Amino acid sequence: MVPDTDLDSQDAALAAEGDSGAFERLYRRHVARIHGLARRMAGPDDADELTQDAFVRAWQKIAQFRGEAAFGSWLYRVAISVILGHRRRLAIHRERTAPEEWNREGRPSHERSSEIGMDFDTAIERLPARARHVFVLHDVEGYKHHEIARMLKITAGTSKSQLHRARMLLRATLA
């Protein structure tokens, strides 16, 4: 059996030549992870659209994919930049419709017991934006602080402290 990464390289090369069938295969292999990333980073309402935007952007840029990194990693970078760009555009709207529900003490402002058993993904979605982005990128996706700092335009120190903040908040969801 051919490993997925080899299939990816082949299909990426074909897609760069304009083969949309090859690109659809790449889409099928990666859509779940990209959609999960979009949902956790930006929330469920925008996840479908952001996933589509990410793949359209990837198609437009695929000629720039040189095959040095795995296609999956490259696609991730593209998706993250699409998602973060979207976040910046919608920032005002989101702050209005989803006010922070967590207080500064690192605990939910309401009864801790009500959080028990809460779906972990839901808890991630409810984190303050910056802590959520850092947590998803670091603990879910495995990026390093210096990489996250570059993506989010923050310092590595801020990335570390936001990660800690997110983890502390998420303890509340542990049953």
Partner 1 sequence: MTDSADTWRDRLSEYLDEALEDSERSELEEHLEGCEECRETLVELRQVVARAGKLVDAPPARDLWPEIAYRIRETEEGERHESRAGTAEAGSSLAGRHGRSFTFSVPQLAAAAVTLVALSSGIAWQIAGGFSARQAEPAVPVAQAPAQTNLLLASRIANNDYESAIAQLERVLNVGRDRLDSATVRKVEEKLALIDKAIDEARQALSADPSNAYLNRYLVGTMRRKLDLLRRTAALTEL
Applying CB under 8 A, the residues found at the interface with partner 1 are: 18, 20, 23-24, 27-28, 31-33, 35-36, 40, 45, 47-49, 51-52, 55-56, 59-60, 63, 92-93, 96-97, 120-121, 135, 139-140, 160-161, 163-164, 167-168, 170-171, 174
- Minimum gap (Å) between residue 69 Cβ and partner 1: 20
Buried b (16+ CB within 10 A) or exposed e, 38-68: bbbbbbeebbeebbbbbbebbbeebeebeee
- Minimum gap (Å) between residue 170 Cβ and partner 1: 5
- Minimum gap (Å) between residue 163 Cβ and partner 1: 6
Phi, psi of 76 (to 5 degrees): -60, -45
Nearer to partner 1, 151 or 172 (CB): 172
Nearer to partner 1, 54 or 152 (CB): 54
Nearer to partner 1, 39 or 152 (CB): 39
DSSP 136: I
Beta-carbon contacts of residue 13 (< 8 Å; ≥ 6 apart): 67
- Minimum gap (Å) between residue 140 Cβ and partner 1: 5
- Minimum gap (Å) between residue 129 Cβ and partner 1: 17
For the chain, the residue count is 175
Joined together, the tokens standing for residue 142 give 């495995």
In terms of DSSP H, where are the helices of the chain? 4-16, 20-42, 44-61, 71-97, 120-125, 129-135, 145-152, 156-170
